[in-house]
Amino acid sequence: MATTCQHPGHKHPEHRRRQAAPDPAAIEDAVARLRARGLRRTRLLDAVLCCLAASPRPLTIGEITTALDGAGDPASVYRMIERLVQAAVVRRLGLQERALYYQMILPGHHCAWLICQHCGAIGEIDAGCPVAELEHHLAAQSGYSDLQHELTFYGTCPECRKT
């Protein structure tokens, strides 16, 4: 049923393998930008940033809260994430699930995802962004500003096709 994609990546832990190093520099950079906006440096801020930076795939608020293991509740994480999104340190993704996903914005990071609709595995797509040009064009034509985009591919992964 459709419920098989409720917990992306869960059934195929190997999809988590591309564990990006938690890159302290990236975190410090983000913190610096946040502090410039007047945000205070709290334990939760560090914990959430660290959690996101260490993840190879977008996380939900629930997942982040779980990862904090008691060091924060969903409401606090929710508000923290809102601030991070406002500050453009974190990006929000839709991903066709009940919950929203959040991903740290890093220079040169991936912008497209490949998701299996059966097992929920989430993988990155290592391609130069194919819509950068269109986005540029769009900004000029539509009058919209601060353009961002979300590009996701959905399909059936080789493993699930066997079944």
Half-sphere exposure of 101 (CA within 13 A, CB side): 20
Q: How far is the CB of 17 from a second copy (least distance, A)?
A: 15
State whether residue 120 is helix, strand or coil: coil
Q: Is 154 in the site for DNA (CB under 7 A)?
A: no
Q: Is the dihedral of CA 116, 121, 127, 130 positive or negative?
A: positive
- Are 154 and 115 in contact, with CB atoms under 8 Å apart? yes
Q: With respect to a second copy, which residue has the nearer C-beta, 27 or 157?
A: 157
- Are 77 and 61 in contact, with CB atoms under 8 Å apart? yes
Q: Is 36 in the site for DNA (CB under 7 A)?
A: no
Q: Which residues 96-125 are close enough to bind a second copy by CB under 8 A?
A: 96-98, 100, 114, 116-117, 123, 125
Residues that bind a second copy (CB under 8 A): 2, 82, 85, 92-98, 100, 114, 116-117, 123, 125, 127, 130-131, 133-135, 137-139, 142-158, 161
